[in-house]
Amino acid sequence: MKTFVSYLSDYAQKNNISLSLISVIETIVEACIEISNQVRLGDLSGILGEAGTGNIQGEQQKKLDVLANHILIEQLSNNKKVAGIASEEEDNFVCLNSEQEYLVLFDPLDGSSNIDVNISIGTIFSILRKSGEKLEEKHFLQAGKEQVAAGYVLYGPQSILVLSFGQEVLMFTLNDKQDFIPNTQVVSIPNQTQEFAINMSNQRYWEPPMQQYIHGLLQGKEGERQKDYNMRWVASMVAEVHRILIRGGIFLYPKDSRETTQNGKLRLLYEANPMSFIVQAAGGKASSLASDILDIKPQKLHQRIPVVLGASEEVDFVEQLHMN
Ligand code: P6P
């Protein structure tokens, strides 16, 4: 039996987690191993570049976006526990086994602008439960705190699976036998940080409190924060969140004055919610600056939301600036 499968079944037994949920996670992980293999081949398999199609987000799809989406839907359609899926790359939800218990929501390949330049990308997934009735869109529109599990696979120098059922964060590394091996490190986000992640090129569009916050960081030791900060921006949320899980930090994608990002850029259901679930399980905080992200009742499948997540005291500081 594969190490990952035996580890997860032991974990399920110890933590009273349903074997149906474990089977859904195993299906997602199998799909991500297939995606990892395709990502690693890059130009050798002719899957780089544009697909020549667009998605409901108004974004040009990459060939790998379309392929990753197809792999996940095909694998999940074979799991009889999955009622349906919602994907960044699908206009509407896809019904699979309507009366079944689990819903899987995903961004099949987050950060796909990085694909052709060989920078880390990833698959983000969120799992919800539903009652036995016929599947409708309303079943997907649950607050993030209702998630029964969430995770991502980061396709970087290593392929790393991060998974949480809400209490702690589990981490696994894909070995050369296509098996995810449990990592030994404990995942915990420090309350304070000296590293922030934001796309500075959008600065002129931010609201004044966000301008004030970032200005304070850039002033360093001489400024009100009285310490120097470092900045990172990978333009791949999975990579930014992973860095924060490993060495701390704060990630910000605020709303701004542009029409397309007046509610932020990141999607609530399959980016912000799963990442917030993981960050909070690791002792961090995730806020839309109007509320905890996990408390937000979604109104639409592809709803966008401002995201500020990571070191809890730093997120508190940003929230405070926006309340004054
Ligand atoms: P920008 C990737 O497209 C993504 O959805 C996130 O992974 C990432 O954090 C963000 O958008 C990057 O956005 O505007 O910097 O390209």
pLDDT value at residue 57: 77
pLDDT value at residue 112: 86
- The verdict on residue 188 lying in a domain is no
CATH number at residue 230: 3.40.190.80
**HSE-up of residue 249 (Cα within 13 Å, Cβ side):** 20
Nearest to 318 by CA among 189, 194, 201, 211: 211
- The verdict on residue 113 lying in a domain is yes
pLDDT value at residue 88: 96
Query: Atom of ligand 1 at shortest distance to CA of 113?
Result: 3
Q: How much distance in Å is there from the Cα of 116 to the middle of ligand 1?
A: 15
Distance CA 63, CA 69 (A): 10
- The verdict on residue 189 lying in a domain is no
**Based on the domain organization, do 85 and 173 belong to the same domain?**
yes
**Based on the domain organization, do 13 and 136 belong to the same domain?**
yes
* Closest residue by CA, ligand 1 atom 15: 235
Query: Atom of ligand 1 at shortest distance to CA of 266?
Result: 5
- The verdict on residue 208 lying in a domain is yes
**Based on the domain organization, do 97 and 203 belong to the same domain?**
no
pLDDT value at residue 220: 97
Distance CA 228, CA 132 (A): 54
**Based on the domain organization, do 141 and 285 belong to the same domain?**
no
Q: How much distance in Å is there from the Cα of 131 to the middle of ligand 1?
A: 34
- What's the number of domains the chain is made of? 2
DSSP 89: T
CATH number at residue 98: 3.30.540.10
Nearest to 150 by CA among 161, 167, 163: 163
pLDDT along the chain (324 residues), means of 10: 91 97 98 96 85 82 92 98 97 95 98 92 98 94 98 98 97 97 94 98 98 98 96 98 98 97 97 98 98 98 98 98 90
**Based on the domain organization, do 165 and 223 belong to the same domain?**
no
DSSP 297: -
Query: Atom of ligand 1 at shortest distance to CA of 253?
Result: 9
Query: Atom of ligand 1 at shortest distance to CA of 201?
Result: 15
Query: Which of 182, 214, 244 is the last residue in one of the domains?
Result: 182
69 lies in which domain range? 4-182
pLDDT value at residue 194: 98
Q: How much distance in Å is there from the Cα of 233 to the middle of ligand 1?
A: 9
Query: Atom of ligand 1 at shortest distance to CA of 199?
Result: 15
**Based on the domain organization, do 22 and 161 belong to the same domain?**
yes
Give buried/exposed letters for 271-288 (b at 16+ CB in 10 A, else e): bbbbbbbbbbbbebbbbb
- The verdict on residue 190 lying in a domain is no
Query: Which of 135, 160, 182 is the last residue in one of the domains?
Result: 182
- CA-angle at 280, arms to 237 and 174, nearest 5°: 55
Q: How much distance in Å is there from the Cα of 256 to the middle of ligand 1?
A: 14
pLDDT value at residue 76: 98
Return left, alpha or beta for 249; rule: phi > 0 is left, psi -120 to 50 is alpha, else beta.
left
- Helix or strand or coil: residue 253? strand
Q: Which two tokens stand for residue 97?
A: 């086994």
Query: Which of 125, 159, 182 is the last residue in one of the domains?
Result: 182
**Based on the domain organization, do 172 and 240 belong to the same domain?**
no
Mutating to test ligand 1, I would choose from 64, 236, 258 the residue with most ligand atoms within 8 A of its C-beta, which is 236
**Based on the domain organization, do 214 and 125 belong to the same domain?**
no
Question: What pTM was estimated for this model as a whole?
Answer: 0.97
- The verdict on residue 275 lying in a domain is yes
pLDDT value at residue 184: 87
Nearest to 250 by CA among 278, 231, 268, 269: 231
**Based on the domain organization, do 60 and 82 belong to the same domain?**
yes
- The verdict on residue 187 lying in a domain is no
pLDDT value at residue 49: 84
Residues with CB under 6 A from ligand 1: 110-111, 113, 199, 235-237, 253, 265-266
**Based on the domain organization, do 162 and 200 belong to the same domain?**
no
- The torsion angles phi and psi of 53, rounded to 5 degrees, stand at -130, 165
**Based on the domain organization, do 225 and 166 belong to the same domain?**
no
Distance CA 217, CA 228 (A): 7
Mutating to test ligand 1, I would choose from 62, 237, 261 the residue with most ligand atoms within 8 A of its C-beta, which is 237
pLDDT value at residue 132: 83
Q: How much distance in Å is there from the Cα of 102 to the middle of ligand 1?
A: 28
Instruction: Calculate the CA 208 to chain-centre distance.
Output: 27
